[in-house]
């Protein structure tokens, strides 16, 4: 890839909440890549992961996917385990203080992190480090001097802190240490590029860059990735909401959960979780929009690609075949009634005309409850023109073959 192609790939799926900031980071990334090329040295790139639990899900791996892109372009990648930052707890995406973990619990959780990361990262090209290596050596005076680079107002302006302040909920002093500690990680490793999700924007763009500049280093480039929604397509992927795609539950489970993702979230999944280039994704989306590629088939392709990243091509193909056999053909009786589609009929029109619901309101309720499927895929809108022929399932037991 030339430099412009590299910039386009590395900025794919990034989200800053501010177009001017995104343009600035794009310009700085291009400059760093040109300097690295001129000096014949790789960029030093890292992302930190606090071992606050033992298992990772697909949402955790989005930043790893970005690290892998840097690896594939020949840059030096560090997978940083936050053995010390995890003791404080990151308040970035929380509306209340995180519980404090013990050193023993952090060490226990960290044991599996790197191994899980190698599902995405190249084991031979990945440096594993722990930030206790340098944070444990800081004295109280060191922390005070680092803190002199920030104001209380900067922390209070953060969205989650300001909301807690408005509600009269406590904000603890130790929570402000987290950003300073993470910023010092960048200093200790003389970082060129730091990758993180949108919840890390303050920690990377404000804390990391400011501390590096204050201590005589060139401020890092922040690559801020979007947050992957869960299988509901709306809320952030999280164990607490039950909308996760685990990465250690097997190829068939992963493929099946990815096929349940709404069509509306496919673009984000393709940009954040696949190995595809911006051009490949644009081509798929254009084909879907024009009708040349059915959304179901696009989702099959996407699910197979993501599953192959974690389990290999052979297992991904087997998972797809298993999905088709188990879900698309599940419970379909040998003999079912037929219905001949008419031009312009909507999904609700067909459900009523085929006698699968007694009223439009009942049909819409079934659609809202995700109880209407065509060839195993959920139909989410009742007002859309009926997509294509196939087996329509309404509820658990009603089937009609569309012709």
pLDDT in tens, 5-18: 999 999 998 999 89
H or E, element range at 24: helix 19-39
Return the pLDDT at 72.
94
Spatial separation of the C-alpha atoms in residues 299 and 259, rounded to whole Å: 6
CB 153 within 8 A of CB 162: no
pLDDT at position 99 over 60? no
Instruction: List Cα–Cα distances, 363 to 231, 296, 347, 368, in angstroms.
Output: 23, 22, 9, 9
Return the pLDDT at 97.
47
Q: Could you tell me the pTM of the whole model?
A: 0.71
User: 285: which residues sit within 8 A by CB, 6+ positions away?
Assistant: 267, 270
Domains of the chain and CATH, by start:
3-225 (3.40.50.620), 239-328 (1.10.240.10), 338-402 (3.10.290.10)
The alpha-helical segments, DSSP class H, found in 228-331 are 251-259, 266-273, 278-290, 295-311, 313-323
Spatial separation of the C-alpha atoms in residues 197 and 184, rounded to whole Å: 18
Per DSSP (E only), the strands in 88-155 are 126-130
The alpha-helical segments, DSSP class H, found in 78-139 are 85-88, 103-117, 132-135
CB 56 within 8 A of CB 50: no
Structure tokens at 159: 């969205």
User: 139: which residues sit within 8 A by CB, 6+ positions away?
Assistant: none
Return the pLDDT at 334.
62
Furthest CA-CA distance within the chain? 79
CB 212 within 8 A of CB 186: yes
End-to-end Cα spacing for the chain: 47
Return the pLDDT at 118.
86
Return the pLDDT at 93.
46
Spatial separation of the C-alpha atoms in residues 123 and 100, rounded to whole Å: 31
pLDDT in tens, 218-236: 999 999 998 888 888 888 8
Return the pLDDT at 55.
66
Return the pLDDT at 208.
92
Number of helical H runs and strand E runs in the chain: 19, 10
Q: Walk across the sheet containing 193-197 and list its strands.
A: 126-130, 76-81, 44-49, 193-197, 221-225
């Amino acid at each position: 890839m030339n430099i412009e192609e590299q910039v386009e790939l590395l900025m794919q799926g990034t989200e800053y909440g501010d177009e001017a900031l995104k343009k600035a980071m794009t310009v700085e990334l291009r400059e760093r890549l040109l300097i690295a090329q001129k000096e014949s040295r790789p960029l030093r790139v890292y992302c930190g992961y606090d071992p606050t639990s033992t298992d990772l899900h697909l949402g955790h791996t989005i930043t790893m996917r970005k690290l892998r892109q840097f690896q594939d372009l020949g840059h030096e990648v560090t997978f940083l385990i936050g053995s010390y930052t995890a003791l404080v707890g990151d308040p970035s995406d929380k509306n209340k203080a995180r519980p404090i973990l013990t050193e023993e619990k952090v060490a226990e959780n960290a044991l599996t992190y790197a191994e899980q990361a190698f599902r995405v990262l190249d084991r031979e090209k990945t440096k594993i480090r722990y930030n206790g290596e340098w944070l444990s050596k800081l004295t109280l005076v060191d922390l005070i001097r680092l803190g002199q680079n920030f104001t209380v107002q900067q922390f209070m302006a953060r969205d989650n802190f300001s909301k807690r302040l408005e509600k009269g909920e406590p904000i603890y002093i130790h929570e402000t240490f987290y950003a300073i500690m993470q910023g010092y990680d960048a200093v200790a490793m003389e970082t060129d590029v730091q990758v993180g999700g949108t919840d890390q924007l303050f920690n990377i763009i404000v804390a990391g860059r400011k501390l590096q500049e204050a201590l005589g280093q060139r401020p890092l480039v922040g690559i801020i990735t979007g947050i992957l929604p869960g299988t509901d397509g709306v809320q952030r992927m999280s164990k607490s909401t039950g909308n996760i795609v685990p990465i250690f539950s097997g190829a068939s489970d992963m493929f099946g959960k990815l096929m349940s993702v709404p069509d509306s979230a496919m673009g984000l999944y393709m940009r954040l979780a696949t190995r595809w280039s911006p051009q490949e994704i644009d081509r798929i989306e254009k084909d879907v929009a024009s009708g040349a590629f059915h959304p179901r088939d696009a989702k099959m392709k996407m699910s197979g690609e993501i599953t192959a990243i974690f389990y290999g091509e052979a297992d991904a193909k087997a998972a797809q075949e298993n999905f088709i056999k188990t879900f698309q053909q599940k419970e379909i009786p040998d003999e079912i009634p037929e219905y001949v589609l008419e031009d312009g009929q909507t999904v609700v029109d067909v459900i009523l005309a085929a006698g699968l619901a007694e009223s439009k309101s009942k049909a819409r309720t079934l659609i809202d409850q995700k109880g209407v499927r065509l060839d195993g895929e959920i139909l989410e809108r009742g007002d859309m023109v009926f997509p294509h022929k196939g087996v329509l399932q309404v509820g658990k037991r009603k089937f009609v073959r569309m012709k």
